[in-house]
Amino acid sequence: MAQKPSIPKGTRDFSPEEMVKRNYIFDTIRQVFQRYGYLPIETPAMENLSTLMGKYGEEGDKLIFKILNSGNYFSDFQNDSQLLEAKNQGEKAFTKYISEKALKYDLTVPFARYVVQHQNEITFPFKRYQIQPVWRADRPQKGRYREFYQCDADVIGSNSLINEVELVQMIDDVFTQLNVPVIVKINNRKILSGIAEVIGQADKIIDITVAIDKLDKIGVEGVNKELQDNGVSEAAIAQLQPLIAFQGTTLEKVIFLKQLLAGSAIGLKGIEEVEYIFKTLAAISDLKSEVELDITLARGLNYYTGAIFEVKANAGTLSSSICGGGRYDDLTGIFGLPNMSGVGISFGADRIYDVLNELNLFPQSIAASTKLLFVTFGEAEQHYCLPLLARSRKAGINAEIYPEAGAKMKKQMGYADDKKIPFVVIVGGDEMQSGMLSLKNMTSGEQEKLTIENIIEKLK
């Protein structure tokens, strides 16, 4: 008995209709990337496990899809007791014996690896974009897949905040073109460091920021409880309260933070950076998207050191971010190339798809594929049409002929219908004799007799 086929959890097939829509998103993003001078690269689906491990934190390591070594992956073990010993070291240690490759988890770390490996061929600052799938061994849920596409643009080898400004413009361009209302949230890791420093908990910065990040989700009490659970002192928590409670415009936040962080050099530096970005953006002043400073924004991987970006749709039911990014001062350092600062953003194409789909924002016009179908009554007619078909294609018209020569009209017309082919040429004995072909407009139902030259001219 045939088994019912299926695909792995969290993965999806894409139909022609879906691919047309997906390509619309990819094309839009790619076009914006190119307009800002970013160049494409690709990296392999798999990386050495050692390249990826330890780059995404404890949690991230678990979510990396490891690839089982091919051949005899037990060859490292001479006997059962060695195997048992390895097993007793725990899952993570054991993984090293049986897996040396993994599917890539994001595009940023492979990019860092790429930069280090090709440093002598690259002209810096290097602006690259990359649109590829990544894999995460997560439990799937709404807006979360185990295989999904990221569309990254990063510039590496430049400290200028102009890059941050441009990235925000690119975000605005992409979502303006896609017609998605979004809110762009900006923060700065240095501000977060300053806050942790000022309250005397510099070593707890990750715990503090992760907790504050959940403010809109779990509320003030939830945040405080999480801080408490993570061993942040009562005094420090008390000091955080005015910050957590603060509401205001970006400008008011900046003024407030300047006071709060007066004693922290790093904190003030962060504010200065944020101020520059907002001032420059304001000077450009043609942004369609909402942009705001959000000090509760702590998203992103452990390596962000400056700006942090996050974009959420301002409509629809998807609450997770559809784009994120930030600056990382020393990403290539672990691969042996220090002092190379990078900043970038990553669009989550699959989530953007879900948003566009829900809000019905895909344009109608992107569906067009075949424009003209040759409908025939038999082999003689089909033969007669083949050169005409070739001529239509040479003229740049997407055209096809129904392959089964004897197929019924209903069948052929139905095929045109299903594929939403707007024009059909019907060729039988009369048409062959006169050379006047019947061109039918499938939307209006109108039909006229034309030569192939006229048809090509009309549809070109």
* SS3 assignment, position 329: coil
- Footprint on residues 411-430 left by RNA (CB under 7 A): 411, 413-414, 416-418, 426, 428-430
**How far lies 186's CA from each of 139, 295, 359, in Å?**
28, 8, 25
- The residue (of 260 and 385) whose beta carbon lies closer to RNA is 385
Among the listed ranges 14-22, 82-90, 177-185, 213-221, the one in contact with RNA (CB under 7 A) is 213-221
Among the listed ranges 4-12, 257-265, 270-278, 365-373, the one in contact with RNA (CB under 7 A) is 4-12
Q: Give least dist CB 81 to RNA, A.
A: 27
Rule CB under 7 A: choose which of 322, 343, 401, 456 binds RNA.
322
| Cβ atoms of residues 51 and 110 within 8 Å | yes
Does 50 sit near RNA (CB under 7 A)?
no
- The residue (of 6 and 72) whose beta carbon lies closer to RNA is 6
Among the listed ranges 15-23, 155-163, 242-250, 437-445, the one in contact with RNA (CB under 7 A) is 437-445
d(CA 166, CA 153): 11
Query: With 0-12 CB in 10 A as exposed, 13-18 as middle and 19+ as buried, what is 159?
Result: middle
| Cβ atoms of residues 215 and 223 within 8 Å | yes
Neighbours of 444 (CB within 10 A): 8
Rule CB under 7 A: choose which of 148, 278, 374, 384 binds RNA.
148
| Cβ atoms of residues 400 and 389 within 8 Å | yes
Structure tokens, 305: 């050191």
Neighbours of 318 (CB within 10 A): 17
Phi, psi values for residue 262, rounded to 5° = -55, -30
- Print the binding letters for residues 108-147 with RNA: x by CB under 7 A, - otherwise: ----------------------------x-xxxxxxxx--
Does 270 sit near RNA (CB under 7 A)?
no
Rule CB under 7 A: choose which of 67, 244, 301, 361 binds RNA.
301
Q: What are the start-end ranges of the E strands in 330-413?
A: 342-348, 372-376, 399-401
Chain positions contacting RNA, by CB under 7 A: 1, 6, 8-10, 57, 59-60, 63, 106, 136, 138-145, 148, 150, 210, 214, 217-218, 299-301, 310, 320-324, 346-348, 350-351, 377, 408-411, 413-414, 416-418, 426, 428-431, 438, 440, 442-443, 445, 447
